[in-house]
Amino acid sequence: EVQLVESGGGLVQRGGSLRLSCAVSGFTFTNDWMSWVRQAPGKGLEWVANINEGGSEKYYADSVKGRFTVSRDNAKYSVYLQMNSLRADDTAVYYCVRGGTTANFWGQGTLVTVSS
Amino acid sequence: QSALTQPASVSGSPGQSITISCTGTSSDVGGNKYVTWYQQHPGKAPKLIIYDVSNRPSGVSNRFSGSKSDNTASLTISGLQPEDEADYYCSAYRGSSTLGVFGTGTTVTVL
């Protein structure tokens, strides 16, 4: 059974940092791109970042470029999102997703709230 | 990174068919086969229901079908059922070295 379990969300002050983690199981992690997608309260979906199988290619939304960094540890079957200089409009549920172009499977999400 | 355009809401009675449109440009929807559709029930994570314009993952009802014409993709739900009431999002690939883009989302209501 494919599982993606996010952790690391919470309440943070504006300008602060958080690191999200996603532990995966049930598929061969090293064969897949991985992505982060977010959804602000009551709003639509937004691709945030993705990373290729080996970690050498990474792409970011313009809204987070220079502030967020995606990485992965293939030995630990995990993907991460380091979020710095957080702003109020970064408040959202962050989903870990299997796939880079097609989101084949989604985690349950972790809520990040940035207070001003 | 402008979102793809979807109608805000679509409704239908049980048993009817409805279609949700997703309009983009020749750089995304019209430019490749990587158009996907997701279903999201309230408080839940989205679920993939259509990939590569018209393919259904294993386990997804054949009442869901996808198509594309020029820069507009469409999702049709046939034989509408109460459990189809949800938000639906399209997404498209915009080429290498960039992220994809989602649609604005459509709320489906079963009357």
State the pLDDT at residue B98. Answer: 78
CB contact under 8 A, A62 and B1: yes
CA dihedral A68, A69, A72, A73 (to 10 degrees): -110
State the pLDDT at residue B82. Answer: 97
Q: Which residues of A touch B1 (CB under 8 A)?
A: 61-63
As a whole number of angstroms, the distance between CA B19 and CA B90 comes to 12
As a whole number of angstroms, the distance between CA A80 and CA A16 comes to 17
Closest Cβ opposite residue A107 in set B45, B52, B101: B45
DSSP B31-76: G-S-EEEEEE-TTS--EEEEBTTTBPPTTS-TTEEEEEETTEEEEE
Three-state DSSP state, B17: coil
Q: What would the pLDDT profile of A51-103 be if each residue is shown by its tens digit?
A: 999 999 999 999 999 999 999 999 999 999 999 999 999 999 999 999 998 99
CB contact under 8 A, B99 and A49: yes
Give yes or no for a contact between B76 and B19, defined as CB atoms under 8 angstroms apart. yes
Q: Is residue A43 packed enough to be buried (19+ CB in 10 Å), middle (13-18) or exposed (0-12)?
A: exposed
Q: Which residues of A touch B36 (CB under 8 A)?
A: 101-103
Give yes or no for a contact between A24 and A16, defined as CB atoms under 8 angstroms apart. no
CB contact under 8 A, A44 and B97: no
Q: Which residues of B touch A49 (CB under 8 A)?
A: 99
Sign for the CA dihedral angle at B27, B48, A101, A108 comes to positive
Q: In what order do the strands lie in the sheet with A78-83?
A: A3-7, A18-25, A78-83, A68-73
Q: Could you tell me which residues of chain A have a Cβ less than 8 Å from any Cβ in chain B?
A: 35, 44-50, 59-63, 95, 101-109
State the pLDDT at residue A4. Answer: 98
Give me B63's structure tokens: 């009442």
CB contact under 8 A, A47 and B101: yes
Which residues in chain B land under pLDDT 70? Answer: 1, 97
Average pLDDT, chain A: 96
Residue (of A86, A90, A52, A44) closest to A70 by Cα position? A52
State the pLDDT at residue B1. Answer: 61
Q: Which residues of B touch A63 (CB under 8 A)?
A: 1
Give yes or no for a contact between B3 and B103, defined as CB atoms under 8 angstroms apart. yes
Q: Which residue of B has its CA nearest to A110?
A: B45
Q: Averaged over A27-36, what is the pLDDT?
A: 95
Sort residue B51 into left (φ over 0), alpha (ψ -120 to 50) or beta: beta
Confidence band of A116 (pLDDT split at 50, 70, 90): confident
